[in-house]
Structure 1
């Protein structure tokens, strides 16, 4: 077998594997949706009304979270199967929120809205995916699903 034929077989096998992987995906319950500019006081008022620190249990609907070196705040408790619009705002530098299979870039002053449906139980992982300083690797938020 010559090298050209071997390369063609490797390419064909890769395409078949990719097609199988894509066909096996069921879709994500986490979808990036929109972005909007916000005045800090407006977002801050919404966050304060919801609860801005500690662990906050939120009903389905709009929920607010901030990103800052090196944390996502507040820790959230979601209802199983609830539909949420997660509003995310970076307070200091550029961060990127990796939530399940989705990832959104968080720029200071711009709110990103991510639609998600809470799973029946467990945890929805949120982690910073944009290097933001020495504590970056420990920047993991808490989103728990509780009945």
Structure 2
């Protein structure tokens, strides 16, 4: 058996050194830009969180539905609340209830899950959050266009995940 030569690698030539330095410099730029973009980017959604037991949050949502229900669609209540606090519940495999909001009004959307982790994504607005049991996310929301917006679960929540679609209706 022969031992490998003492210097078994080939030293970098000028072109390889240049590309290596460029890659390292680009990594440094991206690393520095992360905190800069966090502070100056102004793209973070204004949201706060608080803790609530899933049963307690579900009870609050049921009270909200009883107070503001204006109809049903396929067995799911449609609520039309005034500007202020609105509640949305995630559970396998449903967003509950359907929200009917007014364009230009500001709402504080309280969202939580009562069972497993869900992904909350309003489409086509592309607003995305991770929704966890025992945590209520309060999202300040002011609809600027009227229409129908889909709420999609973008976190796999078991076998019925693909049918977990809710709706927000925005009227003038």
Aligned twin of 1:50: 64
TM-score, length-scaled by structure 1? 0.74
Aligned twin of 1:68: 91
- In structure 1, runs of 5+ residues without a counterpart are 3-7, 9-26
Give the 5 Å matches for 1:19-98: 31-40=45-54, 42-51=56-65, 54-98=77-121
- Name the SS for the 1:47 alignment partner: helix
Following TM superposition, by how much is the alpha carbon of 1:41 offset from its aligned partner in structure 2, in angstroms? 5.1
Structure number with greater CO (CA < 8 Å, separation at least 6) is: 1
- Name the SS for the 1:118 alignment partner: coil
Q: In structure 2, do the counterparts of structure 1 residues 82 and 37 end up closer, same or farther at CA, with 3 Å as the change threshold?
A: same
- Name the SS for the 2:116 alignment partner: coil
Count of paired positions: 135
TM-score, length-scaled by structure 2? 0.64
User: Quick one: distance in 1 between partners of 2:91 and 2:165?
Assistant: 11
Q: Which has the larger radius of gyration?
A: 2
Tell me the alpha carbon deviations over residues 35-71 of structure 1, each in whole angstroms, 9 at most, x when there is no partner: 1101345434432332165100111111001001111
Q: Note if contact 1:32-1:102 (Cα within 8 Å) is conserved in structure 2.
A: no
Tell me the alpha carbon deviations over residues 89-122 of structure 1, each in whole angstroms, 9 at most, x when there is no partner: 1011110101232211111111111111113310
- In structure 2, runs of 5+ residues without a counterpart are 1-14, 16-21, 23-41, 67-75
Q: Note if contact 1:95-1:106 (Cα within 8 Å) is conserved in structure 2.
A: yes
User: Quick one: distance in 2 between partners of 1:40 and 1:90?
Assistant: 7
Provide the alpha-carbon RMSD of the alignment: 3.0
